[in-house]
Structure 1
Amino acid sequence: MFLSHSEIWRTYWECVSRPYTVFICSLTAALYYLWGRKCQAPALVTSKTFSAFLLKHCPVVSETFSPTPWCWGGRLQTLVCAFIKSKPPAAYRNELIRTVDGGQISLDWVDNQASVPYPKSSTRPTVLILPGLTGNSQQSYVLHAIRQATRRGYRCVVFNNRGAAGEELLTPVTYCAANTSDLELVVQHVKGLHPHAPLLGAGVSLGGMLLLNYLGRKRTESGMVAGLTISVPWDAQKSSDSMEEPLNWLLFNSYLTRGLRRVVARHRKVLEKVVDIDYVLKARTVREFDERFTSLQFGYNSCTEYYRDASPDKKLPNTAVPILCLNAADDPFSPKYAFPVSIVQGLPNVALLLTAHGGHIAFLQGLFPRGESYMERLFGQFVQAVFEHPRDIRKACGIKEEKTS
């Protein structure tokens, strides 16, 4: 009726020595070990005073970043995010504004009229969002950013690059990371509508490149109180080299190139006046597309010249507002050896937040990472810190108070 000690141990050994049991236990141990290694606090590169401000008002910068345990590496994070990330609803009000050359820009507004902290539209803080290379106001990262901002009482407006949001292209001009004229027009328009409302710029990937190039060129005349970038490719040439590695080309580069070709094909009638459309549509990489289309459209002698002008790393010393930049070391779009760590170390107004993992515009956390992640929480906390503590952040970044007459 009762088993002897030897029989109990024999039964136990037969159970644990079965191949599937050994496999499951080994896999569990390996996953636990690897996940533990991946869980670490981000590196914050900035001045002591800006660091102190962020640690106080944006505590997520010091939290341990624990990536989704079954998402190994930046490539998988990037792919999984694209397929499973949720899309919160946003009730946009679309506005088309005309450009000097006769073109048009599509702006998608979320006015947030129900804002409790800022019931007056004239003073309600505004977040200007710049999407990525082929993105627009319908991207999941844009919609999540809007939810973070509106729940805090702020207004949002998405700057859709020309021809990227379904609107008609009226002139044979599109967009690139180096040309900031359209962004300048948009900022002037937004500030003209709400001159007493503070404006923060938030750029993602190529949108972040565009934002940083704009802030570097406009310096103290940017019209913005701060900037936030996510997954910026700091050096366009090095980013292109990374994206042309065989696996990255297969997973990402070819997909982005198809998206760019679709934009050109959709506006073929107006664009064929200035470029050989059939030649452009044969591009197999983003670099080939930029060689055959982008660099020619914006007057560059070569793609190399365009990439040099588009890279925002060397523009950082010219910026004059607080800027927070989030990047992951395993981002296939933005290799870590291109991060401008040495440049940022000498700047009082720029903070570079580096996670070991997170991929490109992903930073997934939890077992089922469909909702809010590290990236969204950082966005919400920083935007709130900027708008609710304007004097403190200017002081932390060594920015002098504007004198009022």
Structure 2
Amino acid sequence: MFNTLYDYLSNIPGWHVLSFGLTAYVAYYLILVVKRPTFVCADGPLKNFLLQEIPTLNTKFWPTFWCLDSRAQTVFASVLRSKTIPDITYKREIFTLKDGGEVALDWMDDNCNSNAPCIIILPGLTGNSQDEYVKCLVFAANNVGIRVVVFNNRGLGGVEIKTPRLYNACNCEDLAEVVQHVRSVVPAHCKLGATGISMGGLVLGNYLARNSEEARAYLSAAKIISVPWNVHKAIDSIEQPILNNLLGRVLAQSMYHTLKSSGLHKHQELDMRSIKSCRSIRQFDTEFTIKHFGYPSVEDYYNDATLQDKLHHISVPLLCLSAADDPFQPLDAIPIQAASECSHVAIIVTARGGHIGFLEGCWPSAKDQYMSRVFVEYFSKALFDEHGEFQRIKDVLHRKYLEKHSVY
């Protein structure tokens, strides 16, 4: 018997090896990869509403089988969307901030009637309104009749700065002004929402936590996607060799080019040679960000930006989408326990998805993607709110929030 087995293994046909490998991979995919997302939120009206009104929460996430690695999801999602989603012709508004700075607000309201709600979108670290992940959400909102305005940070979207100031991950003063302005422009009976992606999620999250009552007065609902909840751990994760570190280097160079194109060097003396030599986000923040915004150290800046421990301050219903394998955010930094005790914040965690990836299916569709599907399902119900159900939930949650924080 052993001789027979030895002869077989010595002369095993190639198609046997291939069949065994495919069978093993399919078993691995179906058992360990395809899973329902983890969903956490305190028991109560928001949790019940989301489970009832967002069908995607009750289905398994089927990551693209040939693109399971987190870095592959991150990169291929960007490439695929950039190749398949066309540029958008926005209506641009140059909005002047109180300090004289200017930002570009790009509006998309085609296919929308006068009663359409509006969503403010905050792109990621160096993103703007033509970035593929932003356009993915814009088209998704537009298809269901929701108007969108993309808030391009200072120095982005082709607009040079007018004052010696850029932006960072926790500076939400500009967003506060933009929210107030958009609320004044959109008809009063139309509801307003906001979503932030990656660093945009940090800015939005910090705005919701620090300006809690103001945010609740203007916003009906909010959503953040692939946010680095704990910035310290996020930076540590992206510096891990080899592939994560490569992504970090690319981002550091992107930050340098954003700084250079912003025109800040015309207003302020900068050591552009040292900044250009940065090979990580931490180095860039050390050489530029903390000096520009007056932080004593990069640790102080990351403490200020971290959102992980601020959920209890948020009073606007907030839905969050993260991936357990996000290279920018380790799973243990996602505030699962805090969300399970928070009435206003719900977190969806997929087993795979990378950073702003969430590719699914044999060949990912540019029109129907997991990220945009959850986005539309949530905001369609929360903002159109034809029977006032979500508003009643929001009022109930706010009364509980005030009781918990001893405002009464």
Do both share a fold (TM > 0.5)?
yes
Q: Note if 1:392 corresponds to 2:371.
A: no
Percent pairwise identity: 36
Instruction: Please say if residues 268 and 277 of structure 1, whose CA atoms lie closer than 8 Å, have aligned partners that are also in contact.
Output: no
Q: Note if 1:92 corresponds to 2:87.
A: no
Structure 2 residue aligned with 1:72 = 68
Structure 2 residue aligned with 1:183 = 175
Q: Note if 1:381 corresponds to 2:374.
A: no
Q: Note if 1:300 corresponds to 2:295.
A: yes
Tell me how far apart the structure 1 counterparts of residues 74 and 43 of structure 2 sit (CA, whole Å): 32
Q: Note if 1:290 corresponds to 2:289.
A: no
Structure 2 residue aligned with 1:207 = 200
Tell me by how many angstroms 1:178 deviates.
Answer: 0.9
Tell me how far apart the structure 1 counterparts of residues 116 and 245 of structure 2 sit (CA, whole Å): 44
SS in 2 for 1:75: helix
Tell me by how many angstroms 1:35 deviates.
Answer: 1.3
Structure 1 residue aligned with 2:104 = 106
Whichever residue aligns with residue 26 of structure 2, its letter is Y
Instruction: Please say if residues 128 and 156 of structure 1, whose CA atoms lie closer than 8 Å, have aligned partners that are also in contact.
Output: yes
Structure 2 residue aligned with 1:9 = none
SS in 2 for 1:246: coil
Tell me by how many angstroms 1:271 deviates.
Answer: 5.2
1:350 aligns with one of 335, 338, 345: 345
Instruction: Please say if residues 394 and 400 of structure 1, whose CA atoms lie closer than 8 Å, have aligned partners that are also in contact.
Output: no
Q: Note if 1:266 corresponds to 2:261.
A: yes
Tell me how far apart the structure 1 counterparts of residues 139 and 251 of structure 2 sit (CA, whole Å): 26
Tell me by how many angstroms 1:140 deviates.
Answer: 1.4
Tell me by how many angstroms 1:44 deviates.
Answer: 0.6
Q: Please list the CA deviations of residues 312-358 of structure 1 after superposition, one character each: whole Å capped at 9, or x if unmatched.
A: 12221111111000101000001111011121111111101111111
Kindly tell me the number of residue pairs found equivalent between the two proteins.
381
Tell me by how many angstroms 1:269 deviates.
Answer: 5.7
Whichever residue aligns with residue 174 of structure 1, its letter is L
Structure 1 residue aligned with 2:227 = 232
Tell me by how many angstroms 1:251 deviates.
Answer: 3.1
Q: Please list the CA deviations of residues 198-225 of structure 1 after superposition, one character each: whole Å capped at 9, or x if unmatched.
A: 1100110000111010011111211111
Structure 2 residue aligned with 1:281 = 276
Tell me how far apart the structure 2 counterparts of residues 400 and 217 of structure 1 sit (CA, whole Å): 16
Tell me by how many angstroms 1:32 deviates.
Answer: 0.5
SS in 1 for 2:321: strand
Which moves more between the two structures, 228-237 or 218-227? 218-227
Q: Which has the larger radius of gyration?
A: 1
Instruction: Please say if residues 264 and 277 of structure 1, whose CA atoms lie closer than 8 Å, have aligned partners that are also in contact.
Output: no
Tell me how far apart the structure 2 counterparts of residues 159 and 353 of structure 1 sit (CA, whole Å): 25
SS in 1 for 2:397: coil
Structure 2 residue aligned with 1:82 = 78
Tell me how far apart the structure 2 counterparts of residues 79 and 101 of structure 1 sit (CA, whole Å): 37
Which moves more between the two structures, 379-388 or 246-255? 246-255
Tell me how far apart the structure 1 counterparts of residues 211 and 248 of structure 2 sit (CA, whole Å): 32
Tell me by how many angstroms 1:309 deviates.
Answer: 0.3
- The 1:271–1:225 alpha-carbon spacing in structure 2 relative to 1, beyond 3 Å, is farther
CA RMSD of aligned residues (A): 1.9
Tell me by how many angstroms 1:256 deviates.
Answer: 0.5
1:32 aligns with one of 23, 26, 43: 26
SS in 2 for 1:324: strand
- The 1:375–1:152 alpha-carbon spacing in structure 2 relative to 1, beyond 3 Å, is same
SS in 2 for 1:273: coil
Whichever residue aligns with residue 346 of structure 1, its letter is E
Q: Note if 1:221 corresponds to 2:217.
A: no
2:13 aligns with one of 19, 22, 34: 19
Instruction: Please say if residues 78 and 133 of structure 2, whose CA atoms lie closer than 8 Å, have aligned partners that are also in contact.
Output: no
Tell me by how many angstroms 1:283 deviates.
Answer: 1.1
Instruction: Please say if residues 87 and 130 of structure 2, whose CA atoms lie closer than 8 Å, have aligned partners that are also in contact.
Output: no
Structure 2 residue aligned with 1:11 = none
Whichever residue aligns with residue 280 of structure 1, its letter is I
Q: Note if 1:62 corresponds to 2:58.
A: yes
Q: Please list the CA deviations of residues 75-108 of structure 1 after superposition, one character each: whole Å capped at 9, or x if unmatched.
A: 1111211222231442201111112222110111
Tell me by how many angstroms 1:385 deviates.
Answer: 1.4
Tell me how far apart the structure 2 counterparts of residues 61 and 152 of structure 1 sit (CA, whole Å): 19
SS in 1 for 2:202: helix
Whichever residue aligns with residue 28 of structure 2, its letter is L
Instruction: Please say if residues 264 and 271 of structure 1, whose CA atoms lie closer than 8 Å, have aligned partners that are also in contact.
Output: no
SS in 1 for 2:309: helix
Tell me by how many angstroms 1:238 deviates.
Answer: 0.6
Tell me how far apart the structure 2 counterparts of residues 172 and 34 of structure 1 sit (CA, whole Å): 53
Tell me by how many angstroms 1:155 deviates.
Answer: 0.6
Tell me by how many angstroms 1:274 deviates.
Answer: 4.3
Q: Note if 1:193 corresponds to 2:185.
A: yes
- The 1:386–1:67 alpha-carbon spacing in structure 2 relative to 1, beyond 3 Å, is same
Tell me by how many angstroms 1:270 deviates.
Answer: 3.5
